[in-house]
Every structure is written in structure tokens, then in C-alpha cells.
């Protein structure tokens, strides 16, 4: 199975998760989007050597995943896919910043290692919060929430179209790669030149499709605005959810339960 094909399966998985119905799914998407953003911002606002002080934030993604019935494997497999980015950002910290910071028995841990681990932890916390939030809300609902919160229309529409057509583009890519492999006897994988050609063709095909979609939109009276039904209602449960989590984040940020431990 090619990467494009397994990507398609994972998309279907995300869509299935968001169609489950739990009390969490019924919470207004705006409350979930804002709470998640607030959580991410607070996590990022900690100083670079915070390690244990970050742990309480794990309760947010855990809470969402448990209530929303998101399997752990779903989150971890996706974290693994994007983890190289975080690793590369912080990999040189231990080499550059060698000031001793923590002493555990006879082992001295340098500040670089602590900041590297802190970076990885932040990455795990923020990305898993975002992943779980989208899984229990649904991509379409997240987009609707963004639209209602006055995020520029162009961005929201772009996201909606990306979500609608990425599976088609991925399946087109999967077919092209399969056709290429069937005739590239013996040689393993795609050559760089082959990739370049496939990407070019894919771009041209997407361009053609975009034109056809646009004319289909014009045919049904498109005038620049996409009008969707307003199905969002902010109720007291949503306010409670949002206020509760923001209060929690502020509390963790101010109390700093782990500070004493990281700087002993």
C-alpha cells in the first residue's frame, strides 16, 4: 500500500470519529476551538526550561479523548508522523546549551537537554490537543466555528475545500504512483525525476478540476459568498466548558506546580 493510500484510510478514520455522538460532540465547536487555542497559548507561554509544570496540561487532551472516545492509537500514530519537525527544531539544544541545570544523584543534566525535552513535551501536548479537538468536533464544524468567529472568509473556504478535495487528490496521486510502479520494472521506488513529473501532472489536474468546480459553483449562482445554515447555538453548557478550561489553564499557569521540582 502506498503512502497516499494509507493517508486516504486515515482520513476516513478521522471522519468516522467525528460522527460519534457523545456529550462532548454536542458542545459548541466555538467553545472547543477557543479552549484549545487558550490551552496552546498557555503551554507555549511557559519558559523554555519548564518540564513538570507542563504536565497538568495533559489533562485537557486526555479529558477530550476519554469523553469523546478517541482511541490512543489514533493520536499517537499522528503524533509520530509530525514528530520529526519537533525533533529537528530542538536537536541542537543539548549541544549548544551545556550549562548544568539539574542534578539527579550523580548525573548532571544540562540546560540544553531540559529545554529539548520541554520542547518535545510542548509539541506532544499542543498537537495532541489540536488533533483530539478536531476528532471530536469534525473538520466542517471547526471551519464553521472559525467562520462565525470572523476568521477571514478566504481562509475558511480554503480549509473547507482542502478537506473536501484532499481525498480526491490523494486517490489520484495513489493511482498515478501505482501506474508508475507497474512500469518501472525492478527499480525501487520513485526517482526524484519521477516525483517531479508526478507532482507537475497532479498540479495541472488539480488546476483543471478547480476550474470545473468553479464553473459548477457559478452555474448555481455563486457570487463570492458561501452561505451555510447557522446551526450553532452557544448554550450554558458551552459557556461552562469554555470558562472551566480557561480557569484551569490560568490556574496552572499561575500556581506553577512543578517549578520547585524543575529548579531544585
Partner 1 sequence: MSHHLLQATELGYTYPDGPTALSGISFRITHGESVAIVGSNGAGKSTLLQHLNGCLVPQKGTLRVGDVIVAESTLQTVRRTVGMVFQDPDDQLFMPNVYEDVAFGPANLGLPAEDIELRVMQALETTGVAHLRTRAPYHLSGGEKRAVAIATVLAVWPDILVLDEPSSALDPRARRRLLELLKTFDHTKVVATHDLDFALELCERTIILSRGNVHADGPTKELLAHSEILRAAELEPPVSAQGCPMCGWRKSND
Select from 226, 240, 255, 261 the one that contacts partner 1 (CB under 8 A).
Answer: 226
Tell whether residue 161 is a contact of partner 1 (CB under 8 A): yes
| Ramachandran category for residue 142: left, alpha or beta (phi over 0 → left; psi -120 to 50 → alpha) | alpha
Per-residue binding letters, 134-153, with partner 1 (x by CB under 8 A): -----xx--x----------
Per-residue binding letters, 233-252, with partner 1 (x by CB under 8 A): --------------------
Tell whether residue 21 is a contact of partner 1 (CB under 8 A): no
Select from 150, 183, 193, 220 the one that contacts partner 1 (CB under 8 A).
Answer: 220
Please, how many CA atoms are within 13 Å of residue 105, restricted to the half-sphere of its CB?
0
Select from 150, 183, 212, 233 the one that contacts partner 1 (CB under 8 A).
Answer: 212
In the bound complex, what is the minimum distance in angstroms from residue 201's beta carbon to partner 1? 18
**By CB neighbour count within 10 A (0-12 exposed, 13-18 middle, 19+ buried), where does 245 fall?**
buried
Tell whether residue 15 is a contact of partner 1 (CB under 8 A): yes
Tell whether residue 13 is a contact of partner 1 (CB under 8 A): no
The C-alpha atoms of residue 134 and residue 159 are separated, in whole angstroms, by 13
- Nearest of 209, 252, 211 to residue 41 by alpha carbon: 252
**Residue ranges in the chain assigned as alpha helix (H):** 3-18, 23-26, 29-45, 59-67, 72-90, 93-96, 111-137, 139-148, 153-182, 192-219, 236-255, 259-262
3-state DSSP assignment of residue 57: helix
Tell whether residue 26 is a contact of partner 1 (CB under 8 A): no
The C-alpha atoms of residue 256 and residue 112 are separated, in whole angstroms, by 21
In the complex with partner 1, which residue's Cβ is closer, 95 or 216? Answer: 216
Q: For partner 1, which stretch binds (CB under 8 A), given 75-83, 114-122, 191-199, 226-234?
A: 226-234
Give the residues lining the site for partner 1 (CB under 8 A). Answer: 15, 139-140, 143, 160-161, 163-165, 167-168, 209, 212-213, 215-223, 226-229
Amino acid at each position: 500500500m502506498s503512502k497516499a493510500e494509507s493517508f486516504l484510510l486515515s482520513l476516513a478514520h478521522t471522519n468516522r470519529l467525528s460522527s460519534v455522538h457523545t456529550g462532548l460532540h454536542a458542545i459548541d465547536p466555538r467553545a472547543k476551538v477557543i479552549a484549545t487555542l487558550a490551552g496552546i497559548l498557555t503551554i507555549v507561554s511557559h519558559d523554555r526550561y519548564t518540564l513538570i509544570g507542563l504536565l497538568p496540561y495533559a489533562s485537557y487532551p486526555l479529558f477530550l479523548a476519554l469523553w469523546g472516545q478517541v482511541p490512543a492509537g489514533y493520536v499517537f500514530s499522528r503524533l509520530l508522523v509530525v514528530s520529526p519537525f519537533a525533533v529537528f527544531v530542538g536537536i541542537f539544544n543539548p549541544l549548544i546549551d551545556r550549562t548544568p541545570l539539574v542534578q539527579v544523584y550523580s548525573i548532571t543534566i544540562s540546560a540544553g537537554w531540559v529545554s529539548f525535552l520541554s520542547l518535545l513535551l510542548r509539541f506532544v501536548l499542543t498537537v495532541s490537543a489540536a488533533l483530539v479537538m478536531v476528532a471530536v468536533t469534525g473538520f466542517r464544524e471547526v471551519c464553521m466555528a472559525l467562520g462565525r468567529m470572523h476568521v477571514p472568509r478566504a481562509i475558511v473556504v480554503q480549509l473547507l475545500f482542502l478537506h473536501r478535495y484532499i481525498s480526491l487528490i490523494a486517490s489520484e496521486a495513489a493511482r498515478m504512483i501505482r501506474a508508475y510502479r507497474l512500469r518501472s520494472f525492478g527499480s525501487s521506488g520513485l526517482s526524484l525525476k519521477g516525483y517531479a513529473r508526478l507532482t507537475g501532472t497532479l498540479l495541472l489536474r488539480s488546476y483543471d478540476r478547480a476550474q470545473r468546480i468553479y464553473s459548477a459553483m457559478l452555474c448555481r449562482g455563486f457570487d463570492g459568498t458561501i452561505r451555510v445554515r447557522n446551526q450553532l447555538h452557544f448554550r450554558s453548557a458551552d459557556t461552562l466548558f469554555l470558562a472551566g478550561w480557561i480557569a484551569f489553564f490560568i490556574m496552572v499557569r499561575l500556581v506553577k506546580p512543578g517549578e520547585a521540582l524543575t529548579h531544585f
